[in-house]
Amino acid sequence: MGKPDREMEQYWHWFCARLFSDPALEHRLLERFGTPEAVYLAKEETLLKAFPSNREKLSALCAGRKTWDFEKERERLKRLDVHFVSLSHPDYPARLKRTGNAPCGLFFRGGLPQDSVPSVAVVGARSCSPYGRNVSFWFARELAERGVQIISGMARGVDGISHRGAFAAGGKTFGVLAGGVDICYPEENRDIYMRLESQGGLISESPPGIRPLTFLFPQRNRILSGLSDAVLIIEAKEKSGSLITADCALEQGREVYAVPGPLGEPLSAGCHNLIRQGAGLAVSPEKLLEDLEILPGINMKNMQKNKITLERSENLVYSCLRLQAQNLGEICQKTGLSPEEALSVLAKLQLKGYAREVSKNYYTVVKSDSVSI
């Protein structure tokens, strides 16, 4: 008779907590010994003989067995409100499990993405432009409204804004962290960190207490893409961490989409290169949903239900607004209105929630399903 799940999971917990920084070695050990329990019980000389090039890590692993207390570590997770699920557990995310380099275990707070619900990873520049901020919020909000789970990395810029977009829609969103899920990083996103536990989850390969060290960020990117059906890149320089996520997605057989940006801007270079190399062109959330067969065509009944009715002057101004901020002079030139008239109309649009002033006399559109005069 096999051991109870809890007893098997405690060996997985030990294994993953000690070797999380080297997933390749974890998988090689499992291929050789079969289970974490077998690794735990193996003699040190047996481990070193099997993997002589990993002598230092395996010696540390064996030394750590003497001080590891299974019950104390289980209680520690409970005290921190952190859950653990191993690669062999039925609750382990099926999408991620099917990838060739899945983490052997996940530590999480809140919940895990549902296998039966579509998921899209939204990632991009930390130092994003106002255009990137608007696009990130728009895509995440609209996708979440359609029931798509939003996966991101809780980083500054595009990642954090994508989580906020999902929150605005009342949807589910999950933050994949490089460090332990008991550590909020960056601290400025503390409000996002607190909300993720109740409106999705916080997920990491790293055990609690681990700081988000630099080398862990590229490693976690494969989890971002592995938990998703597709990866959407919004603003990325020619050399960007987001492109590592795109590479992971391609290796895992995921679809990669990129949002085009203003020509000549450094933050557009990475996305334009991806599109040139064959990535999908993301021009709107609706088109992305169609491409992913999540939304097979626009639902005209809902479109009519959500239609915005504006006065003629409001529609004139609304129709010339873009996700990229435009100044008052440009708006006046396009509409033929005087600055006083345009400001009056913009004030009405802001009150109705259809426009936003991002800086003095610079305005962007707040995207909605449709507008009629």
Per-residue pLDDT of 134-183, as tens digits, reads 999 999 999 999 999 999 999 999 999 999 999 999 999 999 999 999 99
Distance between CA 226 and CA 102 in Å, rounded?
8
Helices (H), 114-265: 130-145, 158-168, 190-196, 216-226, 241-251
Which pair of structure tokens corresponds to residue 49? 């003989």
Phi, psi angles (nearest 5°) of residue 118: -60, 145
Residue 155 CB neighbours (<10 A) = 24
Model pTM above 0.85: no
Average pLDDT on 289-299 reads 68
Q: Does 367 score more than 70 pLDDT?
A: no
Cis peptide before 186 (omega within 30 of 0): yes
Average pLDDT on 81-99 reads 96
pLDDT above 90: percentage of residues in the chain: 74
Per-residue pLDDT of 62-80, as tens digits, reads 999 989 999 999 999 999 9
Residue 209 CB neighbours (<10 A) = 13
pLDDT of residue 233: 97
**The residue type at 56:** E
What pLDDT band is residue 323 in, cutting at 50, 70 and 90? low
What pLDDT band is residue 369 in, cutting at 50, 70 and 90? very low
| Cα–Cα distance list, 260 to 6, 164, 189, 221, 350 (Å) | 48, 21, 27, 22, 26
Q: Which of 175-189, 246-260, 309-323 is predicted most confidently? A: 175-189
β-bridge mates for residue 173, sequence order: 150, 200
Which pair of structure tokens corresponds to residue 319? 């129709």
| Cα–Cα distance list, 71 to 19, 36, 74 (Å) | 19, 17, 5
| Cα–Cα distance list, 28 to 39, 50, 141, 279 (Å) | 11, 10, 41, 33
CATH number of the domain at 119-298, please?
Answer: 3.40.50.450
Q: Does 304 score more than 60 pLDDT?
A: no
Distance between CA 233 and CA 242 in Å, rounded?
7
Per-residue pLDDT of 255-284, as tens digits, reads 999 999 988 899 999 999 999 988 999 999
Which pair of structure tokens corresponds to residue 179? 């460090």
CATH 1.10.10.10, applies to 305-372:
yes
**The residue type at 228:** S
Sort 211 into a burial class: Cβ within 10 Å, 0-12 / 13-18 / 19+.
exposed
**DSSP structural state of residue 319:** T
Range with the lowest mean pLDDT among 33-42, 191-200, 330-339? Answer: 330-339
Distance between CA 277 and CA 132 in Å, rounded?
21
Compute the CA torsion angle 255, 109, 132, 231 (nearest 10 deg).
Answer: 0
Average pLDDT on 326-343 reads 90
Nearest to 282, CA basis, from 185, 143, 155, 184: 143
Per-residue pLDDT of 9-51, as tens digits, reads 999 999 999 999 999 999 999 999 999 999 999 999 999 999 9
Phi, psi angles (nearest 5°) of residue 149: -80, 130
Nearest to 238, CA basis, from 264, 256, 219: 264
Beta strands in the chain (DSSP E): 83-86, 105-110, 119-124, 149-152, 173-177, 200-204, 230-234, 255-258, 280-281, 308-309, 326-327, 355-359, 362-365, 371-372
pLDDT of residue 218: 92
Average pLDDT on 94-108 reads 94
Residue boundaries of the structural domains of the chain? 5-79, 119-298, 305-372
Residue 138 CB neighbours (<10 A) = 22
**The residue type at 62:** C
